[in-house]
Structure 1
Amino acid sequence: MIQYPRMEKGAVVGVTAPSSGIEPGLHDMFRTAVSRMEERGYHIRVGETVWTQHKAKSAPAKVRAEELNEMLGDRQIGAIIPPWGGELLIEMLDRVDFDRMPPKWILGYSDLSVLLLAITLKTGIATAHGLNFVDLRGTYSDHTSAMWEAVLTAKPGDRIAQQASAKYQKEWRHDDPSPCVFHLTEPTVWKTVSGGPESLQGRLLGGCVDVIRHLIGTPYGDVAAFRERHIPGEPLLWYLENCELNTADLRRSLVQMKYAGWFEGCAGLMFGRSAANRPMEGYTVEDVYQELSEELGVPVIYDIDCGHVPPQMTLVNGAYAEVKAVGGGGTLVQYFK
């Protein structure tokens, strides 16, 4: 059974940095995000780790974990949204208090997906893969990005539908800020390995391949135990995205996941758009997807709205999902059951 948190509109939102904090030169950008959220009626509580960054982390692992545990245990805080990802979140996992963790939304992506996936696998508490706090600094959000609020304020038993974006951002243009943060210029096209329409159903799990692969073989990556304890007999539906891996490294990572049993009981896979899928000696990412689909005998949908090429849907680890890809478009319906 999955436990679904719920955030009230106008709630207190805690911002802590379990991975990277904000360097001094970007503090004003972060303050803008705080102001925008306050204008939307939220109360923002910012932890000390947010304001510091040294040697690829916001603070020592002990400090990061203590601040996260404190915010998780604070009943006044309705949700936690870290500023962004980073590199070394995995260092503090062994200090996170999983045993006394209350159902509370944590939203984010990139390196944060290590924490999100570990929480859902160890506790059965749903977590939300989507925007980071700094992505909320716009005067408005595009329709795809804005769905984070509908997801986090939904009640257990609710049904949340999301549509593929109309356009995505090809490149960051920090010298030309957009009112909605992202510069959405390129037509979104959801693709399938089969070349035709695909429909998938299952319990969502996933995150950034670059970092969640390091949970394999640890107490924080026991997919088999999660399935047996929380969703017995139900299929998995994996969503994955690639931040920096070339195609050979991506392939190695996916094969390792397969060997570790992560794809047992898998009904299908979805891959987010990526600017990193560099071919190796003619070996393309389409080759990777084709091989994985054939080996597992399941459909693969790719270039979905997920990950480091915005905008992205809000995907809930643990939620039951129905996904359809047809004609370049797509729909995702999540059931909080």
Structure 2
Amino acid sequence: MEKIKPKRLEKGDTIGIIAPASPHYNRSDIIRGIETLQEWGYKVITGENLHNKHEYLAGTDKERAHDFNEMFRNEEVDAIFVTHGGYGSARMLRYIDFDLVRKNPKIFIGYSDITSLHLAIQKYTGLVTFHGPGMAGFNPEDLTEYRKEYVFKALSQQEPIGEIRKANEKKWINCIHKGEVEGELTGGNLTLVCASLGTPYEIDTKGKILFLEEVWTEPWNIDHMFTHLYHAGKLQEAAGIVIGECTDCGPKKLDPGFHVTFSLEDILYDFIEPLGIPAIHGLPIGHTKDLATLPMGVNAKLDATNKKLYVTESGTK
């Protein structure tokens, strides 16, 4: 499918705010985010159902899909930011108007549960979207300089982002397998990537650089998901693999059955190293304080030998 790029974000543009997944706990989180965006020089409008709650969802599937579609339909809106992730984005896919999205390309950014939307948009429209922070954390207390830097590198500058560097020089990037490769970026949260398999929105990894991240998940469960990806051929088809920091993904003290001795690294080596493709682990992607924004569907270069990932194509025009 032909690649489509949204217009880059400029001061004075209008940002639409929607909640495609779970509801916010404190309304003030949204107010702070909106005020921060306005202080930066942007106009802000909110979805009709932004403050709705339906159990652990931010409204019914149709309500959340309505706000998504309307933001793409609204000619005044230049970019669409989600509040945060959580649960339920995949439930509204049946109600999304992908023709509308394709004909009205705009910046769309989010991560975690929003992975379901990124993969579906990629598959049905070719629109470049952005795996990055939700706006509920767009405030001086939560938005680190690293987060802010990479958001604006991805959304506002004409040049490619370039290197996705470590947020802290004390951090460690691990090379699982050496090598160098180029390809388009795809991926997201491991749980949601696996959930796409066997559906019309299934991830396409053939010849691409696959990035994956996870949070609060024990190694036995990650082992299950990597087994799923392997059996579906998704790991073998990838040109290269980048694993994020994967916050709090170690074994828990509670032992409900069999004692867990595998570490996350053990599983990564088990599944990825035998593939013989370039692969690294530890970049700040996804659920981490300092997370980089990645444009999905653009060209990138993975130099696993030197533990580097470069975004070599701009995600906007």
Shorter-chain TM range is 0.7 to 0.9
1:123-138, aligned counterparts within 5 Å? Answer: 123-138=125-140
> Within the alignment, does 1:212 sit opposite 2:193 as a pair?
yes
> Within the alignment, does 1:309 sit opposite 2:296 as a pair?
no
Structure 2 match to 1:52? 52
Looking at structure 2, the residues matched to 302 and 240 of structure 1 have their Cα atoms a distance apart, in angstroms, of 9
> Within the alignment, does 1:262 sit opposite 2:243 as a pair?
no
> Within the alignment, does 1:79 sit opposite 2:79 as a pair?
yes
Q: Secondary structure at the match of 2:193?
A: helix
1:188-207, aligned counterparts within 5 Å? Answer: 188-194=171-177, 199-207=180-188
> Within the alignment, does 1:334 sit opposite 2:312 as a pair?
yes
The answer on whether the counterparts of 2:146 and 2:167 sit within 8 Å (CA) in structure 1 is no
The answer on whether the counterparts of 1:240 and 1:270 sit within 8 Å (CA) in structure 2 is yes
Q: Which amino acid aligns with 1:334?
A: T
Identity %: 25
TM-score, structure 2 normalization? 0.88
Structure 2 match to 1:33? 33
Q: Deviations over 1:155-209 (max 9, x none)?
A: 5xx4221342342xxxxxxxxxxxxxxxxxx932211124xx6544211001111
Picking from 206, 217, 221, the partner of 1:245 is: 217
Q: Secondary structure at the match of 2:312?
A: strand
Structure 2 match to 1:299? 278
Q: Deviations over 1:106-156 (max 9, x none)?
A: 10111111111211122211110011112211277413442212212245x
Structure 1 match to 2:19? 17
The answer on whether the counterparts of 1:289 and 1:300 sit within 8 Å (CA) in structure 2 is no
Q: Which amino acid aligns with 1:58?
A: A
Q: Which moved more, 1:292-301 or 1:63-72?
A: 292-301
The answer on whether the counterparts of 2:179 and 2:277 sit within 8 Å (CA) in structure 1 is no
Q: Give the 3 Å change call, closer, same or farther, for CA 263–243 of structure 1 in structure 2.
A: same
Q: Secondary structure at the match of 1:249?
A: helix
Deviation, structure 1 residue 305: 0.9
> Within the alignment, does 1:142 sit opposite 2:145 as a pair?
yes
Q: Deviations over 1:39-69 (max 9, x none)?
A: 1101111113322333110000001101110
The answer on whether the counterparts of 1:210 and 1:243 sit within 8 Å (CA) in structure 2 is no
Q: Which moved more, 1:49-58 or 1:127-136?
A: 49-58
Q: Which amino acid aligns with 2:263?
A: T
Looking at structure 1, the residues matched to 274 and 237 of structure 2 have their Cα atoms a distance apart, in angstroms, of 13
Looking at structure 2, the residues matched to 109 and 84 of structure 1 have their Cα atoms a distance apart, in angstroms, of 7
Structure 1 match to 2:246? 274
The answer on whether the counterparts of 1:144 and 1:164 sit within 8 Å (CA) in structure 2 is no
Picking from 264, 285, 288, the partner of 2:264 is: 285
The answer on whether the counterparts of 1:110 and 1:307 sit within 8 Å (CA) in structure 2 is yes
Looking at structure 2, the residues matched to 18 and 335 of structure 1 have their Cα atoms a distance apart, in angstroms, of 28
Q: Secondary structure at the match of 2:183?
A: strand
TM-score, structure 1 normalization? 0.83
The answer on whether the counterparts of 1:210 and 1:244 sit within 8 Å (CA) in structure 2 is no
Q: Secondary structure at the match of 2:303?
A: strand
Q: Give the 3 Å change call, closer, same or farther, for CA 222–160 of structure 1 in structure 2.
A: closer
Number of aligned residue pairs: 303
Q: Give the 3 Å change call, closer, same or farther, for CA 17–265 of structure 1 in structure 2.
A: same
Q: Which amino acid aligns with 1:246?
A: E
Deviation, structure 1 residue 301: 0.5
User: Aligned Cα RMSD in Å?
Assistant: 2.2
Q: Deviations over 1:239-269 (max 9, x none)?
A: 0001232112112212212222323531111
